[in-house]
Amino acid sequence: MAAALRLGIAGLGTVGVGVVRIIRRQAEMLSMRTGRDIVISAVSARDASKDRGVPLGDYAWESDPVALAQRDDVDVFVELMGGSDGAAKDATEAALAAGKDVVTANKALLALHGTALAEAAEAAGRVIRFEAAVAGGIPVIKSLTEGLAGNEITRVMGVMNGTCNYILTRMENAGLPYDTVFQEAADLGYLEADPTLDVGGIDAAHKLALLSAIAFGTKPNFDGIAIEGIERVSIDDIRQAADMGYRIKLLGVAQQSARGLEQSMQPCLVPASSPLGQLEGGTNMVVIEGDAVDQIVLRGPGAGEGPTASAVMGDICDLARGLHIPTFGQPAATLKAAPAATAALPAPYYLRLTLADKPGALAKLASALGQAGVSINRMRQYAHDASEAPVLIVTHKCTRDALDSALAALAASDVVLSQPVALRIEDL
């Protein structure tokens, strides 16, 4: 049997402890499946005295993760601290410079510094594996880099933040407003310390940047993603979408077109009967479309100790078997720059507006849309008081630029009383 693969684990939070538990519980199985023992040499975390519910006395302790990354008895540095800079970045760079492979669950680090880190890994003859950084326990990175390697990918989309999906489905199923469900999620511990990372779409956009890089052979371009959170989605939007046969999801979409690479993370309407429309609670789903495979759907838990630690262990086992794939599925030098698309591909849109209830208001609305080249497919007006008239519109396919032009004209008029809500409708 080959020599043992020796790990240094930095970060003993939920995921780090989960990895330790799997290695302790499944040592014999892991050895049989990889052809070598997988052992932990040393660990690192902020507080050595904290009881984490798992024995750690068998492992050396390093208070400095950079020192852990440089130890002679560590073959693979497992970075589970999080954060796009600081200790996580410093320790990852130190590990690569010291000739270690790296396994990480850190989507922010790779979304912002992935190109430079991939180049450093290849210069050192090492690899970075990050299955756990995207969609928790779903093997989407492995699917793109291995199972679907023979496909030209045309579109990647999905629900990649379980907290947002929980909030939206809870609002719909319980008929509760956003603020109430947001507080529920906070009380349950579902939200990040900075909740805007979740509900603002930033966490999910980090993940989309990584999937897009692999799918289209580009450098991760987080800054090129159009990001909009779920904060302005109301219970009325959810009810009206359901009335038309749709559900609202925070949906990430990446697709290459003649206009460039389009990447967006924003609330969208999807058909209620589609796999994405049927997704409930904190579950994640990624849909991949390729020229040979057509469409595949990957569904599973997007977070939590077990699922995320499972993804980390999958990467560790691949390294134990000697499988070394470039960080983003192809040599870093071949990754293309990915300028953002000059305009998003045309799509139908859902619009919710509050108009002044006076003669000519609807005519001005229709005129502004028409002059911008936006055609109305369906329009509904709901019961209202004497001063405000809520109006719901579904457009035919149009560009977002054309829609924004119409909304700007309406904002300058005297008929729109509040900021309109505009949500893209995605066809699956």
The whole-angstrom separation of Cα 202 and Cα 222 is: 9
The whole-angstrom separation of Cα 400 and Cα 370 is: 14
* Cβ atoms of 351 and 401 closer than 8 Å: no
What is residue 104's three-state secondary structure? Answer: strand
pLDDT value for 76: 98
pLDDT value for 384: 64
List of residues 6+ apart from 29 with CB closer than 8 A: none
List of residues 6+ apart from 154 with CB closer than 8 A: 255, 256, 289, 290, 291
Placement of tokens 């410079």 in the chain: 97
What is residue 342's three-state secondary structure? Answer: coil
Placement of tokens 């994405």 in the chain: 276
The whole-angstrom separation of Cα 315 and Cα 313 is: 5
Burial of 36 (0-12, 13-18, 19+ CB in 10 A): middle
The whole-angstrom separation of Cα 69 and Cα 42 is: 10
Residues with active-site annotation: 207
The whole-angstrom separation of Cα 205 and Cα 226 is: 9
Structural domains for the chain: 5-133 (3.40.50.720), 141-301 (3.30.360.10), 349-425 (3.30.70.260)
**Which two structure tokens, joined as six digits, stand for 355?**
């108009």
Give the residues of the chain that fall short of pLDDT 70: 342-343, 383-386
Among residues 6, 87, 14, the alpha carbon closest in space to that of 40 is found at 6
The whole-angstrom separation of Cα 84 and Cα 30 is: 31
Could you tell me which residues are beta bridge partners of residue 391? Answer: 353, 381
**Which two structure tokens, joined as six digits, stand for 219?**
């450098």
Classify residue 149 as left (phi > 0), alpha (psi -120 to 50) or beta.
alpha
* Cβ atoms of 269 and 279 closer than 8 Å: no
Strands (DSSP E) contained in 258-331 are 260-271, 283-290, 294-301
pLDDT value for 342: 67
